[in-house]
Amino acid sequence: MSLKIGVSGVRGIINDSLTEEVISNFAKAYGTFVSASMGPGLEPGPILIGRDTRTSGKFVRGIVIDGLLATGHSVIDVGFAPTPTVLFLTKHLKSAGAIIITASHNPEQWNGLKFVRPDGTFLTKEEVFCLLDIYNNKKFKLSGKKGGVTEKKDASKAYLDAILKAVDVQAIKNARFKVVLDYCNGTGAVTTPYLLEKLGCEIAAINTSPDGKFAHNPEPTPKNLEQLCVFVRESKADIGFAQDPDADRLAVVSEKGIAIGEENTLALAVKHVLSKSEKLKAKSEKFKVVVNLSTSRMIDDICSEFGAQLFRSAVGETNVVDKMREVGAVIGGEGNGGVIYPAINFGRDSFIGMALLLEYMARSKKKVSDLVGSTKQYYIEKTKIDCPQDKINPVLEDVKKAFSNDKINTTDGVKIEWPDGWAHIRGSNTEPVIRIMAEALTKEQALEYIGRIKGEVTKVTNVT
């Protein structure tokens, strides 16, 4: 299994593709990169590190610390910490950057590193190229001066308190929600209880040991949430929440014990933020929302309902964030359960997602299933086709030609838009595959779109 290196960092199987040498060299490359971006003559600032609960986390932590110290930086270690917590704390503690030790929703034998800028966002594409140049050519700038390591175990409180300031705590408290959670033995187990207790929720949870032994496939998609659905029904809870191991993505189970799908996580958050923002500002100023090209049309419907302006970016958290900054969006995100709320973080954040959804329920006095039912629902189908990397672009060109009579967007791969749905075809950055997504008002129609695209792809390339 090869190492996956992309804009979101590096991931691999521990002691297989992600070896001690790879981790050490990435830490030294990042330390060198941070020193260079700080400018000559400046003292190397402290670099924050946090990790998810994987069993290999401690091993990776040791190597990362050694690498950063070798480049002259001191290290602030916040221990087990969700990705959004580290993003926030990087700004809050005025550190020179951060490394998050996580492989997100990948299985437990995986681990990885995500690299953060001092402003609490991930490195830009250009910065990643620069980091990779240092890594690949071993242009490490080692320093004789050694910094120290400070452990800050309670740092997440500042982050959670900021979230509490961003929502109507009293309204949520008054509703006395019963909330059940599936932490999948990830970082949510460490950080989430404080937030929900402060919101006056009665909480019960499953998979609560932060030991990194994932109780099920940790990607928070409906098929992996069976256990939580049963738990919601049995405990007669108002809502169920599931976070992935580094708690940037959020999935929701309704009071009926049904996983509402991650597209609805973002749709509900956007709808709530637009409805509450409308009351705060004059209608003459249009609110801006940014989602990626593969996110549901529900967001278009919601934006037109509230007169907000929707922008779509290429797929990938960094692309969404860049566009959000450019247009000054009030909210944005990705349809995989990634809510981005700039008032807290310019990154996907399950905690602000939970707080906003609870506020929505409290203020509207509606159940989750009613809130979902108030927005027209679509069906999304996905598939992938093996395709050698060098054939991906020719395939996309051919698909573009085949659908040249339709409305086409080529910002990221090829997106074909029809009055009642769309299909999005992209090459993967990390695997030799073409991904196809389609959305329509019925499952059959979405499958039909997938079939048509698949037919074109295989017809023109003979790739099966």
- Judged by the rule CB under 5 A, the positions of this chain that interact with Mg ion are 104, 244, 246, 248
The number of C-alpha atoms within 13 Å of 441 and in the hemisphere containing its C-beta is: 6
Q: How far is the CB of 338 from Mg ion (least distance, A)?
A: 8
User: In the numeric block, which tokens belong to residue 203?
Assistant: 């909480």
The dihedral region occupied by 67, where left means phi > 0, alpha psi between -120 and 50, and beta the remainder, is alpha
Q: How far is the CB of 110 from Mg ion (least distance, A)?
A: 12
- Sheet holding 250-253: strands in order across? 202-206, 178-182, 239-243, 250-253
- Catalytic-residue membership of 104: yes
Q: How far is the CB of 103 from Mg ion (least distance, A)?
A: 9
Pick between residue 238 and residue 246 the one whose CB is nearest to Mg ion. Answer: 246
Gap between the Cα atoms of 459 and 131, Å rounded: 40
Pick between residue 108 and residue 246 the one whose CB is nearest to Mg ion. Answer: 246
Q: How far is the CB of 81 from Mg ion (least distance, A)?
A: 13
Q: Which residues contact 212 (CB under 8 A, 6 or more apart)?
A: 52, 53, 54, 55, 56, 57, 108, 185, 186, 245
Pick between residue 182 and residue 248 the one whose CB is nearest to Mg ion. Answer: 248
Q: How far is CA 139 from CA 17, 26, 125, 294, 343, in A?
A: 21, 11, 19, 38, 37
Gap between the Cα atoms of 227 and 240, Å rounded: 11
Q: How far is the CB of 248 from Mg ion (least distance, A)?
A: 4
Q: Are 439 and 378 in contact (CB under 8 A)?
A: yes
Of the candidates 104, 156, 254, 350, the residue annotated as catalytic is: 104
Pick between residue 77 and residue 246 the one whose CB is nearest to Mg ion. Answer: 246
* Segment holding 273, helix H or strand E: helix 262-280
Pick between residue 317 and residue 439 the one whose CB is nearest to Mg ion. Answer: 317
Q: Which residues contact 23 (CB under 8 A, 6 or more apart)?
A: 60, 63, 64, 67, 113
Catalytic residues: 104
